[in-house]
Amino acid sequence: MQADLTNRYTNLTAADKLRERIKPGYITQHFPLVLKKHNLRLIWFHDLRHSCTSLLLANGAA
């Protein structure tokens, strides 16, 4: 039974090393800490979506 519980979320993008779901706010809450740790400029996590879209469009992916 334990194996079933451990492998329950293997198809999710947001799963931890133990294959458990990552709480919805975890990435957003920890993103500023990652930026600070690597001496990067503070931006909102959502801004990455806009940056990715701009780069895709600039490279003809649309």
| Domain around 41 | 2-58
Q: What's the structural domain count of the chain?
A: 1
Q: How confident is the model at residue 33 (pLDDT cuts 50, 70, 90)?
A: very high
How far is the C-alpha of 35 from the C-alpha of 50, rounded, in Å?
Answer: 17
Name which residue leads in pLDDT, 14 or 57: 57
What would the 3-class secondary structure string for 27-48 be? HHHHHHHHHHHCCCCCCCCCHH
- Mean pLDDT for the chain? 82
Instruction: For residue range 36-56, list pLDDT tens digits in order.
Output: 999 999 999 889 998 999 999
Place of tokens 């947001």: 14
Question: pTM value?
Answer: 0.56
pLDDT for res 56: 94
pLDDT for res 60: 93
Non-local CB neighbours of 32 within 8 Å, separated by 6+ positions:
42
